[in-house]
Structure 1
Amino acid sequence: MAPTVTPAKRTRPGYGQLLRTRGAWTFLLPGFAARQPFAMLTISIVLLVQHTTGSYGAAGAAAAVTGVSMAVFAPYSGRLADRYGQRAVLVPGVLAHVLSGLALTGLALADAPLWALFAAAVPTGASVPQIGPMVRARWGVALKGSPLMSTAAAFESVTDELTFVIGPLLATALCTAVDPAAGLVTEAALTLLGGLLFAAQKRTQPAVGRLGPGTGADAGHARVAPVPALRVPGVRVLIVAFLGIGSVFGGMQVSLAAFTESIGEPGLNGVLYGVFAAGNMLSGVVCGAIAWKVAPRRRLLVGYTALAVTTSGLWAAHSVPLLAGLGLLVGVCIAPALITGYTLVESLVPAGARTEAFTWLTGAVALGQAAAVTVAGQAEDRLWDGAGFLVPMGGTVLALGTLLALRAHLSGRPGGRTVARGVDHRSPVAVD
């Protein structure tokens, strides 16, 4: 395990200072490659299965099985990593994911029946490496007690957004310009290379048996029985919010692919999704640099309202420029909701359950995405062109209603608000 790193300068924490943390790049670079499955997998399955079956409904269903499987197994993967170590979970998980992903590719190319695709999709989704939560846990080891912890939280959210810029663009370009199976094959290769290199970085991983990432006021205390993350009401509310965010990702992926095909320009799919994801990423960078004076709960409610409003206009956009503009606005609204949701975990959940809480939220995005690609695919097949855009609207509006009704559960734990050793979540986060 790497020694605790405490920056010598007590200046405002920024991204540049964070990235100079000793040992950070040893897990950041392979971790970035290993994160691509989450961003590439759904769109790669949709494009491959739609090509072999001619049906967006079948493609969405296959992708949905993968997403549901990932959502169900992700929290258990995080719990096992806390108990037995990241390496012990990652190595067999990576190998299982590569083999099952290649099996799914082969079955699709062989025109196998849909039930066979489902059978391969289950282990493919269940074995997706949970790199994001693991990287957050490693930051906790490297920055224990440092003011840079809040900066690391913002940086990780920005990295997630960047993944959603690169992953779908890369997958779409490979599937449309090289071969329909190239997206899944590349996804498997990145998983194998990045996952094994990440697992090899033993010095930066949390110690086996450690309770959570070791951040906050709970860090360094005697061992206590961890509280399951799902027993925290605020986590359940955040899961609903992240399900709505997943519906945006899934609905946009299917609906943009269907729209560009309907106008005879399938190559524009990657461009339009890239505009959406770029707005997401840039908004995340800005959110991480702002010294917020507004409480996280209020930021989440305001940001989510904006997200529901912008997604409500997607179904009415019938031109490429208008759809690109609306997609950009939707992307801009997603990042604040994601970042604020992850920030709230620090104040809602005890240290021993935070890694599990992060994986529940990641799984919720995957589950929402899975449901969205299924419903959007059926809507595009059975209704009118563009009907799939109703899915992001429905998902975010329903989630917003839940957030407003249960917003009281998003307050910090009574008498024990978690603060990173004097660093409140409202502290400034500056960009060097």
Structure 2
Amino acid sequence: MSHTVDTETAGQPATTRPGYGQLLRTPGAWTFLVPGFAARQPFAMLTIGIVLLVQHTTGSYGTAGVVAAVTGVAMALCAPQSGKLADRFGQATVLVPGVLLHAASVTVLIALALAHAPLWALFVAAVPTGASVPQVGPMVRSRWATVLTGSPGASALLPTAAAFESVTDEFTFVIGPVLATALCTGVHPAAGLAAEAALTLVGGLIFAARRATQPLTVSTPAGGHEGARSASALSIPGVRVLAVSFLGIGAVFGGMQVSLTAFAQEIGSPGVNGPLYGVFAAGNMLSGLVFGAVTWKTGPRRRLVLGYTGLTLVSATLWAVHSVALFAVLGLLAGLCIAPALISGYTLIEALVESSARTEAFTWLTGAVALGQAAAVTVAGRLADTHGARAGFLVPLIGTALALAVLLPLQSRLLPRGPGRGAIRAMGHRETTAVD
């Protein structure tokens, strides 16, 4: 049965967007939201935890950035495969061994860092640490699509769910870096990573146990159309464009984390790093709350371009700032621009990709953020070591400018092709979405 979700109909929305209260009353939602929140902490705490620990044991932001980058690259390469396996065999099947491996890998990385092991040994431990980061955010987004399917007003609730997930992601970035910084500076340099591993393990196992809301697998597609199941979400041009744009968002995350850490050290107040990054993430969260509550007259493609343009302009000012108060203001503005770009990108996935590959598609975007973050922490760390924190803040500008230069001429690829939703179809289900 086909239906149309029109996000831009001559500027007049057909219905008022449902609120977060209606969304959260969806049966079964809280059973995966609470443990999923805890299990998302690696993305918020892992990079900053590694940077603070390795910088403490080596005295080099560059070295710390490289080790963190290895985890980011490993995550970026493995996350889509994890998503594809989850689509095929079920989320719990992938998640349980993943969180066990992650907790063990983080423990080994901590031990090696505290033992002042050589850099190559840290790299060896960093690879499985990053590769095993659980893709809980994409899994939760897929669960929303599952629990909302067939419910009244489901098509109107999906954009609200996308906004809510962005807010949840950013809330972890409000508390995650602050918590990791406080633990590393106030308890022990390894305490941030230890807490990250514990939260991931406990939250991940509880989340995996909630099998009633996990999406159906596509290991045995109806009619035996193996080719439809095996096609990758990355074969869709729009997904590739979104992945490139999310690289720039990752550059902002990584560049801000390392450069703010170096800036706080330079002014003799290392503890201010967490609150400053928290302000940046709070802007993202607040913007997401508003963004998800408003019924927009423009489609997600235009909102993505506008949000990304604003993010690039704000990033262009960071390198020239030396005041904590001004950093807080500009960080808040940067956060306000990130949420529209993130939410719009994830909303576009709903239009471009069929449900049989949606988790994989979401993980390509989160993997792109991780890869952009990995490159950013490496470059920003080296620049901070040699030229100071000010040079590190050039990284968000370069990353967003390059991604915007790709997004602008290729934005037409974000429109679905043909009468169906995208290149990948399963079980004969089709939806058409206006995304301009």
| TM-score normalised per structure 1 | 0.91
Q: Which residue of 1 aligns with 2:106?
A: 101
Q: How many angstroms apart in 2 are the aligned matches of 1:200 and 1:46? A: 32
Amino acid of the residue matched to residue 17 of structure 1?
Q
1:119-175 deviation per Cα after TM superposition (whole angstroms, max 9, x unaligned)? 000000000110011111111221103232222111111111111111111111111
Give matches, 1:304-315, under 5 Å: 304-315=308-319
Q: Which residue of 2 aligns with 1:198?
A: 207
Q: Which residue of 1 aligns with 2:250?
A: 246
Q: Percent identity?
A: 69
Q: Which residue of 1 aligns with 2:55?
A: 50
1:221 positional shift: 10
Q: Which residue of 2 aligns with 1:237?
A: 241
1:358-377 deviation per Cα after TM superposition (whole angstroms, max 9, x unaligned)? 00000000000000000000
1:361-408 deviation per Cα after TM superposition (whole angstroms, max 9, x unaligned)? 000000000000000000001123311000000000000100112112
Answering whether residue 172 of structure 2 is matched by residue 163 of structure 1, we say yes
Answering whether residue 265 of structure 2 is matched by residue 256 of structure 1, we say no
Q: Which residue of 2 aligns with 1:366?
A: 370
Q: Which residue of 1 aligns with 2:139?
A: 134
Answering whether residue 217 of structure 2 is matched by residue 208 of structure 1, we say yes
Amino acid of the residue matched to residue 201 of structure 1?
R
Q: Secondary structure at the match of 1:416?
A: coil
Paired residues of 2:421 and 2:433 also in contact (CA < 8 A) = no
Answering whether residue 179 of structure 2 is matched by residue 175 of structure 1, we say no
1:258 positional shift: 0.3
Per the alignment, do residues 24 and 421 of structure 1 end up closer, same or farther by CA in structure 2, a change over 3 Å counting?
farther
1:92 positional shift: 0.7
Q: How many angstroms apart in 1 are the aligned matches of 2:410 and 2:391? A: 30
Paired residues of 1:138 and 1:205 also in contact (CA < 8 A) = yes
1:12-38 deviation per Cα after TM superposition (whole angstroms, max 9, x unaligned)? 522101111111111100000000011
Paired residues of 2:218 and 2:356 also in contact (CA < 8 A) = no
Answering whether residue 50 of structure 2 is matched by residue 41 of structure 1, we say no
Answering whether residue 286 of structure 2 is matched by residue 282 of structure 1, we say yes
Q: How many angstroms apart in 2 are the aligned matches of 1:155 and 1:221? A: 36
What do you get for the CA RMSD once the two structures are aligned?
Answer: 2.1
| TM-score normalised per structure 2 | 0.90
- Alignment partner for residue 299 of structure 1, among 287, 290, 303? 303
Q: Which residue of 1 aligns with 2:78?
A: 73
Paired residues of 1:169 and 1:273 also in contact (CA < 8 A) = yes
- Alignment partner for residue 354 of structure 2, among 350, 354, 369? 350
Q: Secondary structure at the match of 2:46?
A: helix
Amino acid of the residue matched to residue 129 of structure 1?
P
1:106 positional shift: 0.5
1:337-368 deviation per Cα after TM superposition (whole angstroms, max 9, x unaligned)? 00001111111223322211100000000000
Gaps of 5+ in 2: 1-14, 423-428
Amino acid of the residue matched to residue 138 of structure 1?
R
Give matches, 1:15-34, under 5 Å: 15-34=20-39
Q: How many angstroms apart in 2 are the aligned matches of 1:68 and 1:332? A: 27
Paired residues of 2:86 and 2:359 also in contact (CA < 8 A) = no
1:193-228 deviation per Cα after TM superposition (whole angstroms, max 9, x unaligned)? 10000011111112233799xxxxxxx999671331
1:334 positional shift: 0.4
Q: How many angstroms apart in 1 are the aligned matches of 2:389 and 2:273? A: 15
